[in-house]
Amino acid sequence: MESAKRMKPVNDDEEERSLSAFHFPDLTIKVGNEKLYVNRDQLMAESPVFRTMLTGNFKEKNAREIELPDKDTTTFALFLRHTLPGFDGLILSARRILPLTHEYQTQISLEKIDKALASYTGAKESDKLIDDILEAEFFSLPRYLTACIQKANLLSPTVLERNPKFDNITSDTKSRIFIMKCKAMESETDKCMMVLEKYVSFLGCKSVDCAHKQKVEEAKTILRQNVFKRDSKC
């Protein structure tokens, strides 16, 4: 029997991260009336904010218990769970823990949230879509932002600009939306031109006085003018 395929080797960093979830809890985080028990090294490895807090010249440096009185207990517990290696299940909790993930800069969790939110951008009304774009920009979520831009491309500029919040979207994102629209217009224009040319050929118009041919030529002229206007704006 052919030998089994070798598994992809795990590098030292991946192995250490996998084992870190099972290290002895040596730090207590008090959130509200609850105490959450974590491993100091594992938490510092995931969050540069906690690393600075626990190693810098702060009162938490040598503390065995730290307090975060302004955090929601359940949300913070969910946030901590997502810092553990191998833990997913972000569909329902992604948006809830996003502010904490951003605050403590847990990069791996941020990447998972970015992917999860990008995968679940269904049909949205313009107001909700603009809110999502602003959220993706604020938290620097590139996949989520791209998914939102693709949705915005399906809406008319008038609909988007009707919402005052549209002005808060960055110029770069607006450019990406309208460049995508330009490309879509170009594609549709090319298709129209092909259909018109086939239509003339099918009719077999040979005479310069052919009414059908004249209408087709007029339509082609209008399309070309639209292309010129589009290129000027884009």
**What single-letter amino acid sits at 31?**
V
In this prediction, residue 55 carries a pLDDT of: 92
Cβ neighbors of 148 (< 8 A, separation 6 or more) are 121, 129, 132, 133, 136
∠ CA 65-35-44, rounded to 5°: 55
**What single-letter amino acid sits at 169?**
I
Percent helix, strand and coil across the chain, each rounded to 5? 60, 5, 30
Predicted model pTM: 0.69
3-state SS record for 134-177: HHHHHCCCHHHHHHHHHHHCCCCHHHHHCCHHHHHCCHHHHHHH
Question: Residue 234: pLDDT above 60?
Answer: no
Mean pLDDT within 45-74: 91
> Which residue ranges make up each domain of the chain?
21-104, 126-168, 185-233
- CATH assignment, 21-104: 3.30.710.10
Q: Are 122 and 94 in contact (CB under 8 A)?
A: no
Measured CA to CA, the distance from residue 38 to residue 59 in angstroms comes to 18
Question: Residue 209: pLDDT above 70?
Answer: no
In this prediction, residue 132 carries a pLDDT of: 94
Q: Tell me the pairing of strands 27-31 and 65-67.
A: parallel
Cβ neighbors of 30 (< 8 A, separation 6 or more) are 36, 65, 66, 67, 68
The string of pLDDT tens digits covering residues 61-120 is 889 999 998 999 999 999 998 887 766 666 678 889 999 999 999 998 999 999 999 988
Q: Are 141 and 114 in contact (CB under 8 A)?
A: yes
